[in-house]
Amino acid sequence: MSNDYLDLIAYFGIGGAHPGGFALTESILGGENIQPMEAVLDVGCGTGQTAAFLAKSFHCQVTAIDNHPIMVEKAKKRLKNNKPPINVIEGNAENLGLADDSFDLAIAESVIVFTNISKTLNELARVLRDTGRMIIIEMTAEQNLPEALRKEIRRLYGIREVLNEEEWRSKLQQAGFTKIEIIPTPSALILSELDDINQSKNIHSKFFDLWEEHHQLTLQNNQFIGYRVFKCHLC
């Protein structure tokens, strides 16, 4: 199913489009003790910015997956000469097509909310080893949303659900994650710095309008919409 907002991110080739941007990614992952022999899955990898950082910083075995063909193309271009090599594949987070128990760490940065959340969390739990962990950055409702705002968020981003923190915890537990912690960050929905862009040619004007809508909604609704960084373990 087409999603104009995700098309926008793909056409503009925005690296670190998630809340907090790449600076947040560096902060979070910089504190992780990732070993070279570990297998890491970057779900919704976009243009490959995080995947490149992981391989360069930790020399680990990175698999990067995205379901948008333009994102996959741009990620492959970025990572084609990467050392160590990164496996970039086109695939669906709800049905990864990867082997059970094959990853030590999974990362998803503002990805799961754009999918069937329960299906995706179940898939990530399936491909993680029992000793594995997962880090996700996801949009979170800070309080009860006015119905008009809830409808506007669903329309603008093409998403089905806007979960609060406890609802995220419940979904994670249902998927089998038994230890769930929140990595401390500012909770406000911070706009990403657009300092990593690989823009396509001849982008339709509607996507510039959509970006402005996103910008205005973010600025005007910080009291209602934020994000959380969850670190989760299966056991």
Task: Retrieve residue 63's tokens.
Answer: 């698999």
Q: Are 31 and 95 in contact (CB under 8 A)?
A: no
Read off the pLDDT of residues 198-215 as tens digits, 9 standing for 90 and up. Answer: 888 889 899 999 989 998
- CATH number of the structural domain spanning residue 32: 3.40.50.150
Before 19, cis peptide (omega within 30)? no
Q: Are 160 and 203 in contact (CB under 8 A)?
A: no
For the CA atoms of the chain, what is the radius of gyration? 17
Residue 188 pLDDT = 57
Task: Retrieve residue 164's tokens.
Answer: 């609060």
Residue 18 pLDDT = 83
Query: How does the average pLDDT of the chain come out, rounded?
Result: 92
Q: With 90 as the cut, is the pLDDT of residue 195 above it?
A: no
Read off the pLDDT of residues 127-160 as tens digits, 9 standing for 90 and up. Answer: 999 999 999 999 999 999 999 999 999 999 999 9
pTM: 0.91
Read off the pLDDT of residues 72-115 as tens digits, 9 standing for 90 and up. Answer: 999 999 999 888 899 999 999 999 999 999 999 999 999 999 99
Q: With 70 as the cut, is the pLDDT of residue 189 above it?
A: no
CA dihedral 82, 201, 20, 37 (to 10 degrees): -20
Residue 187 pLDDT = 60
Residue 199 pLDDT = 83
Read off the pLDDT of residues 30-69 as tens digits, 9 standing for 90 and up. Answer: 889 999 999 999 999 999 999 999 999 999 999 999 999 9
What integer is the mean pLDDT of 11-23?
A: 84
Can you give the residue range of the structural domain that contains 189? 4-233
Total structural domains in the chain? 1
DSSP state of 145: P
The 3-class SS string of 112-138 reads HHHCCHHHHHHHHHHHEEEEEEEEEEE
